[in-house]
Amino acid sequence: MDITTCAEVFLRQLLQQKPQPLKSIPKKTPGLYWLWDHERKPRYHGMASDLFDRVFYKHVSGSPDRSHMFSRHYSHLPVKERHDFVRTNCGVTYVPFPELSLGRVEVGVDFLKALEREILSMAPEAAIRWNGAIPSEKLVPSGSR
């Protein structure tokens, strides 16, 4: 199966899965993921050498100035409230690749990076709204200001 066919399969799988709670992600496992906002809209696609660390910690509690998407898009909320809100109301879909050890097998890194690029090239624009741009919008949960 070529990279384009693989990307089509994983794109479909990632966007058709029901978003899962962030805490459901396997630890120390490489893979592909999609972040979903509090309205259950797909917003950001990425790959990681450790899905749990990248999504649960970096995207949720990392710096809004870096590519830590939940921190960036919910930065108007106080830090603790933001962490709690995102971990409770946002979701993730993912495809784990436990057989790839990204730190030790170079082909694993190259494969996932190529797959990520291919998926981004064919993804619907709305589903990658957070990829590659500094947002002008801040997501405001209903009932918050």
For residue range 64-103, what is the model confidence (pLDDT) as tens digits? 556 677 777 888 888 888 889 989 999 999 999 877 765 5
What integer pLDDT is reported at residue 98 of this predicted model?
A: 75
Q: Domain total for the chain? A: 1
For residue 88, how many other CB atoms are within 10 A of its CB? 11
Does the pLDDT value for residue 24 go beyond 90? Answer: yes
Residues 6 or more apart whose CB falls under 8 angstroms from that of 92 comprise: 19, 20, 21, 22, 24, 25, 33, 34, 35, 36, 55
Looking at residues 22-48, what average pLDDT do you find?
93
List, in sequence order, every residue forming a beta bridge with 42; answer none if it has no partner: 36
Q: Which residue has the higher pLDDT, 58 or 44?
A: 44
- Cα 87 to its chain centre, rounded Å, is 13
Q: Residue 137 falls within a domain, yes or no?
A: no
Domain that holds residue 61: 3-125
Q: Residue 139 falls within a domain, yes or no?
A: no
User: And the tokens for 43?
Assistant: 């917003």
What integer pLDDT is reported at residue 109 of this predicted model?
A: 75
pLDDT winner (highest mean) among 55-64, 77-86, 96-105, 135-144: 77-86
Number of H helices, E strands in the chain: 6, 3
pTM for the whole thing? 0.83
Q: How far is CA 71 from CA 54, 80, 126, 127, in A?
A: 12, 11, 19, 18
- pLDDT-derived band of residue 145, with 50, 70 and 90 as boundaries? very low
Q: Residue 105 falls within a domain, yes or no?
A: yes
Q: Residue 136 falls within a domain, yes or no?
A: no
What integer pLDDT is reported at residue 63 of this predicted model?
A: 65
Q: Residue 141 falls within a domain, yes or no?
A: no
Q: Residue 121 falls within a domain, yes or no?
A: yes
Mean pLDDT of all residues belonging to the chain: 84
